[in-house]
Every structure is written in structure tokens, then in C-alpha cells.
């Protein structure tokens, strides 16, 4: 599966003013840096928790339907929280995209990863690579307040840590600061292998 971001979040879960209040900063000269740290902290914590904090649109590209999808009639959506499915397209021979009728599948929102249940077997793609495109929406909601408060606090803790430790030649693979990890850990989706 190849994921592609279609629409980034319109707002961050933490505002610049919230970050400045957290850090006790009144001046505006570091606003661009703090804004960049907020985005970086969100992306880092989204990767750590394997969840999207604010509404964003993604496209999944598959070469073919996984074997279990064809056997069971369902496809797992690895994005969480899963909000909605926008479209399912299958490329037929000649690279012609066919959008599946929304009546041919069901996709209910889920606080965790979702799934698409096909009411009839989905058509096989007519090309060997990227033959299936699935457009979906994931995230807790459109408003920063929709992001759970511990995750918002984890962003602030990480922004504070990075702000205080600028320019330190630390290990890039070092773990997250303890407070940020403790706040985010209950939301972490473990990988099943």
C-alpha cells in the first residue's frame, strides 16, 4: 500500500498562542519557529501513536486486492481514527478509472482503524501497479478541541522540549521526552506482526 496525503489539516491541534502561553513567551520574533515546531510535534506524535489528530484526506494505492479481502469481502483501513470513505476507484485495462458505486460497499466511521465491507466482490484491477485507489478521511475532527486533551498536552511538551534544546547535537533516534511519551502512550496503536 502506498499512502498519499491529499488534504493536510486546516488547523493544528495546538495554536501558536497556546504554545506561547505554555512556554511563557510574549515576543513575536520566534513565531515562525514555534509554528514549525507545532507542525513537527504533531507529525512526530501522529507517527508515534499511529493516529491522525485533525481531519485530513488520504489516498491509499494498492496493486491488487489483498487475498483476505477477496475471501472475506472486507478491506482493513489502517488509518485511525477512520472518519469516512470518499471514493473507491479501480483502474481497468487501458488505464480507465472506474469509480465503484457507493451502494456496493459499506464503510462505517470508527474510533480506531476502520474497514470497508464489499456487498459484492470488487472488480480486479486491469493494470499490475497502483490498480486500486481508495480516498478516505481520517482524524478526530475538524476542530483542535476534537483532539484528545492528553495528545494536545503531548504536543506542547514536545514543542517545549525542542524549544529549550535547540542546536543540541543529540541522537536523532533518541526517544520522545518522558512527559510527551506518557501523555501519548494510551493512544498508541500497536502493530500486529
What are residue 189's phi and psi, to 5 degrees?
Answer: -90, 120
Encode 91-124: b = buried (16+ Cβ within 10 Å), e = exposed.
beeeeeeeebeeeebebeeeeebbbbebeeebee
Average pLDDT over residues 115-129: 91
Is residue 112 pLDDT above 90, yes or no? no
Question: Within the chain, which residue ranges are assigned CATH 1.10.3230?
Answer: 2-54+143-187
Would you identify the CATH topology of the domain 2-54+143-187?
Hypothetical protein yqbg (1.10.3230)
By DSSP bridging, strand 82-92 and strand 2-7 are: unpaired
Q: What is the pTM assigned to this prediction?
A: 0.87
pLDDT-based confidence at residue 172 (cuts at 50, 70, 90):
low
Q: Which residue has the higher pLDDT, 170 or 134?
A: 134
Q: What is the pLDDT of residues 35-66, one digit of tens each?
A: 999 999 999 999 999 999 999 999 999 999 99
Amino acid at each position: 500500500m502506498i499512502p498519499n496525503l491529499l488534504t493536510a489539516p486546516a488547523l493544528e491541534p495546538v495554536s501558536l498562542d497556546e504554545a506561547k502561553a505554555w512556554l511563557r513567551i510574549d515576543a513575536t520574533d520566534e513565531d515562525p519557529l514555534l509554528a514549525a515546531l507545532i507542525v513537527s510535534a504533531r507529525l512526530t506524535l501522529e507517527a508515534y501513536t499511529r493516529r491522525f489528530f485533525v481531519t485530513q484526506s488520504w489516498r491509499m494505492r494498492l496493486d491488487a486486492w489483498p487475498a483476505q479481502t477477496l475471501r472475506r469481502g472486507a478491506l482493513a483501513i489502517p488509518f485511525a481514527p477512520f472518519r469516512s470513505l470518499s471514493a473507491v476507484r479501480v483502474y481497468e485495462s487501458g488505464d480507465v478509472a472506474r469509480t465503484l458505486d457507493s451502494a456496493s460497499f459499506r464503510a462505517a466511521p470508527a474510533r480506531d482503524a476502520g474497514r470497508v465491507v464489499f456487498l459484492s466482490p470488487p472488480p480486479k484491477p486491469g493494470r499490475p501497479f497502483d490498480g486500486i485507489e481508495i480516498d478516505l478521511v481520517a482524524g478526530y475532527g475538524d476542530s483542535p478541541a476534537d483532539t484528545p486533551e492528553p495528545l494536545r498536552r503531548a504536543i506542547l511538551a514536545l514543542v517545549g522540549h525542542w524549544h529549550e534544546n535547540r542546536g543540541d547535537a543529540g541522537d536523532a533516534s533518541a526517544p520522545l521526552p518522558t512527559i510527551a511519551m506518557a501523555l501519548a502512550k494510551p493512544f498508541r496503536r500497536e502493530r500486529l506482526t
